[in-house]
Amino acid sequence: MKLNKLTQTILTAALAAIPFTAFAANGSMPDAAQTAEKVRKELVTLPFYGVFDNLWFEMNDGMVTLHGAVTRPTLKTSAERVAQRVAGVTSVVNRIEVLPLSNFDDGIRLRVLRAVYGQPALQRYQLGAQPSIRILVKNGEVTLEGIVLNDMERNIANIQANAVFGVFKVNNNLRVEKPAAPKA
C-alpha cells in the first residue's frame, strides 16, 4: 500500500513540473482553472522541452505571463505561440529567459545531470516524460528547480550539484511536496 502511495506521489510530482497560479476576478474559477490546465499541458508537451529548461506561468483574467529559463531561443517563442492558441487566453507576456550559449555551461549541465540523477536516492525523479528535478546553468551557476518528497532528497541533490567540477554556486530551489494527510 505504501509503495502505491509513493508511486502516486512521484507521478504527481512529475506531472507538476510546471506550476501554475490561476486568478479569476469574475468568479469563473472552473473556466480559469481549465484554461490554466490547458496552457500547462501545451507547455509540458513542447518539443525539446527538457531537464535543462524550466517553465512556469501566472494567469490573471485571461492574461498569461510566462516565466522561466530555457536553453533554446526557439523554445521561448514556441511557448508563447502555444499559450496564445489556448481558448480563454486573451494575451501573453513572455518573460522567459534564454540562457547564454556556452560550452562550459553545457559541460556543467551534463555533469550535474549525471551527479544528481546518478544518485540512487534521486533516480526515481528522472522517470516519466518530464523529470521533476530541473537543472538550470548560467555562467557556472546552477539552479535546481522542481519538487522532491522530503528534505533529505533536497539536500542530497544540493550536495551532488555542489560537488561537480566547474560549478561556482548552487541555488537549491527544490520544493518539498507536502504529504497527503492519512485517511482514517
State yes or no: pLDDT of 167 exceeds 60.
yes
Q: What is the β-pairing status of strands 63-70 and 54-60?
A: antiparallel
CATH, domain 103-176, list 2.40.50.140, 3.30.1340.30, 2.60.40.1930, 3.40.50.300: 3.30.1340.30
CB 86 within 8 A of CB 115: no
Calculate mean pLDDT across residues 19-27: 45
pLDDT tens digits, residue range 79-122? 999 999 999 999 999 999 999 999 999 999 999 999 999 999 99
CB 183 within 8 A of CB 128: no
What grid cell was written down for 130? Answer: 518530464
What was the pLDDT predicted at 178? 78
Q: What are the start and end residues of each CATH 3.30.1340.30 domain in the chain?
A: 103-176
